[in-house]
Amino acid sequence: MLFAIMFAFWRFMEILTLVPIVGMLSYFVNINLTANLMTPTTILVLFIVSVLALAWALFTLFSYHRSSNNAQFVGFVDLCLFGALIAGVYYLRGIASADCSSGAVLRQNGWLVVSVSFDKTCGMLKACFAMGIMNVVFFFVTAVMAWVHGRHAARDEKVRYVETRRVSRSRGGGSRSSRRSRSYSGSRSRGGHSHHRAYV
């Protein structure tokens, strides 16, 4: 029960941060497609990985029962997405050092006025970069959780299987021994009767 709550929480956090990444990067992809230009690799890699990660997070969240039964497979896919997200963030690393805003102090009519300009494109890419790093951490957490849960589930299943076989063997052995004792007593009784009739 605790695993289900924690897993659902982290999945929700992944979806919450992947949706803005997909939305903002699709905006840039659409601009390049409209201008008949190739989308830069720095944007395209993180966009593709984010779309795949979002689809996987939604699928495993809404089909949790199936995901819980295949927890080790879920952990493996999460680990693959963890590596892919690292690659996406690495390609977009140049935006980390960019300054998206600039400001100046101007004097107008004897008043000091602060003028601030903000680069929208730079700010959106920087937000995608930050949320990409967050998802690297989130997918690593869910991968470890799913893998550990899967190992515990497999071990419990093995223990239950061994116990079931022991019980079935003990029941089968008891029935066989009882059948043998009944057949042996029956043969003795039949043998005794025939021997008695021979002497009469």
What pLDDT score does 107 carry? Answer: 72
What pLDDT score does 101 carry? Answer: 81
Element (H, E) at 174: helix 120-199
SS3 107: strand
Contact 59, 18 (CB under 8 A): no
Tell me how far apart the alpha carbons of residues 181 and 191 are, in angstroms, rounded to a whole number: 15
Residue 39: C-alpha distances to residues 28, 35, 100, 121 (Å): 8, 10, 21, 14
What pLDDT score does 170 carry? Answer: 64
DSSP letters spanning 137-161: HHHHHHHHHHHHHHHHHHHHHHHHH
Low-confidence stretches of the chain (pLDDT < 50) are: 156, 158-159, 161-162, 175, 177-200
